[in-house]
Structure 1
């Protein structure tokens, strides 16, 4: 983004001087990124503050006597003083405007990663989110002083800016909450899945579900898998390889059951793969996928699992077990 050019367009926007072409360019800049919207918001505050400080040019020359009996030209005094008072006052008014906005209604943003491997998001407090395929994230335009709450439907990695006085919460659609203060962790909770998974890379988080009687505290390099049906959970040692790869646009499957592999492929590639034989769901699959097409991946699956074959059926891809040849 050409920041200098964007700021010139913002200036023209406030002065209603944008041409038709510049208006299109301005709107393109504004919708391009969170950074662009933040720049516009900052300049908008300064503009409003400067408007509040605007002085009527028709102020008459008012003689004003001091104890020394000297007469002051009031208009000239204002003009000479403007350079000294304008900047501090604009900053002061900007602060007041920002403070005023803090008491206004909170606006929620919603970002969706539809058939995209990763969407990167910057939150108002400086925390970072990597949102994965088939997921949505809702977050406010500003956080409260009591908590920083975002709502996740799907899967994402969170790198939370430390603030011991203001905990950070990731809440999923079923009311499960992961609480952190300053850490890096990943949460996976799709409605279609029977489990909720949390991987903690560094720091400490608390996992709490409406289905539990008490929160579970996790330590670094561990993975929690919580079963939504029987309310049982396991915590095991783990490594960040899978999510590190995912953030770089790489799918890494390390001895994963075929059912989980298919769920991931459906979300990332926007396809409909159906496992027709239940016996295939527990077959394990190990692979690293970056630029392969979905059909290349299907061939990889059938080569690594001799009992499996696949075929296209309309808009679906059907996985079946090979029939045993008759002797």
Structure 2
């Protein structure tokens, strides 16, 4: 939960919301179950704290006068009870106050806690970051980010491919780090980064707004909408800038595999990641063919069958066999061109 939401809950508990704010608050409370649970939890803690404050103001002298006529044994018992109760109140009040603080602002260690999200093969995962930014994580990708963005920079780390819809914040830069290579920075925009560990290139595509690419403390490129920056991992840090087909580059986040005059190597690479299989390409004649197609719900077998209708493509699928350690390797697909 962000700080604005926490402050609105506190203002609600203290009765300080304006009529417009209260209308928005009540609507969200009635529709958002997670928000309702947070409000109910804070309300319980808040009520207990107020009860303790009232308890501390208990009129001990007035009660003492009411029981002053009782026998010595009862009077002693009541005195002991009052002392015990006062001690308990003294101990519990700071404890509950600390509970309220930790519930609203969290443990100090949480600030530095990292969350690691991985997307399985064949799946696209959607993640909402602590600042409200949204991330679509492609098949076989991993995103690492802090539980709380507490500094001047909102920094995440990516291995694989992700589409970022960054919540605008001109005072806190948003950085996507590709470890040991470059950083993609923005303040509020939408862009795609493809940085699989087994690729020898990293590609950044800008869908909206503005991004900056930096490495080794120097600016490599400023992209315009529709532009792609391709950087070789073992190169001289000079990205290749070009205009690209945006649907082809980011269609995956909507469950689409889009190819436009793509060679078989590019197709095999993307299908391998999407379906978690291994491809083997046999013969140079494969590279003479290009394909244009869009796939959505098709299985791997259906896609290969459709590609085979557009060229003399031979397909052999080798099903995995159990290994000595009882694990299974990935399915293997062998592609070649028929005689």
TM-score of the superposed pair, with normalisation by structure 1: 0.70
| 1:311 is aligned to 2:316 | yes
Asked if the contact 1:49/1:93 (under 8 Å) is kept, the reply is no
Q: Which residue of 2 aligns with 1:222?
A: 227
- 1:115 is aligned to 121
Residue 60 of structure 2: SS of its match in structure 1? Answer: coil
Change in Cα spacing, 1:243 to 1:118, as seen in structure 2 (3 Å) is farther
* Contact 1:201 1:239 (8 Å CA) reproduced: no
d(CA) in 2 for partners of 1:108, 1:37: 22
Structure-2 change in CA distance of 1:51 and 1:248 (3 Å)? same
Q: Which has the higher helix share?
A: 2
| Displacement of 1:49 | 4.8
Aligned partners of 1:49, 1:187: CA distance in 2, in Å? 44
Residue 235 of structure 1, aligned match among 234, 241, 263: 241
Structure 1 residues 214 and 57, CA gap change in structure 2 (3 angstroms): closer
Distance 2:130 2:168 in 1: 13
The answer for the alignment partner of 1:27 in structure 2 is none
Mean Cα deviation higher: 187-196 or 168-177: 168-177
Relative to structure 1, is the Cα distance of residues 138 and 47 closer, same or farther in structure 2, using a 3 angstrom cutoff?
farther
2-structure distance, mates of 1:39, 1:244: 35
Q: CA deviation at 1:209?
A: 3.2
**Residue 43 of structure 1: CA displacement?**
5.2
Q: Deviations over 1:59-78 (max 9, x none)?
A: 753359xxxxxxxxxxxxxx
Structure 2's unaligned 5+ residue stretches are: 1-31, 63-95, 320-330
Shift of the 278–143 alpha-carbon distance from structure 1 to 2, 3 Å rule, reads farther
User: Are 1:137 and 2:143 counterparts?
Assistant: yes
1:189 paired residue number? 195
Q: CA deviation at 1:241?
A: 1.1
Question: SS at the partner of 2:302?
Answer: helix
Bigger Rg, which one? 2
2:60 paired residue among 59, 62, 66: 62
Total equivalences in the alignment: 262
Aligned: 1:174 with 2:180: yes
SS at 2:188 equivalent? coil
**Moved segments of 4+, more than 3 Å:** 35-54, 56-60, 90-105
How far did residue 214 of structure 1 move?
A: 3.5
C-alpha change, 1:104 and 1:154, in structure 2 (3 Å) is closer
What SS does structure 2 have at the residue aligned with 1:215?
Answer: strand
Structure 1 residue 217: deviation in Å? Answer: 1.0
Q: Distance in 1 between matches of 2:97 and 2:57?
A: 24
C-alpha distance in 1, partners of 2:335/2:254?
A: 28
Contact 1:170 1:177 in 2 (8 A): yes
| Normalised TM-score (structure 2) | 0.67
Q: Which runs of 5+ in 1 are unaligned?
A: 1-34, 65-89
The equivalences for 1:4-15 within 5 A come to none
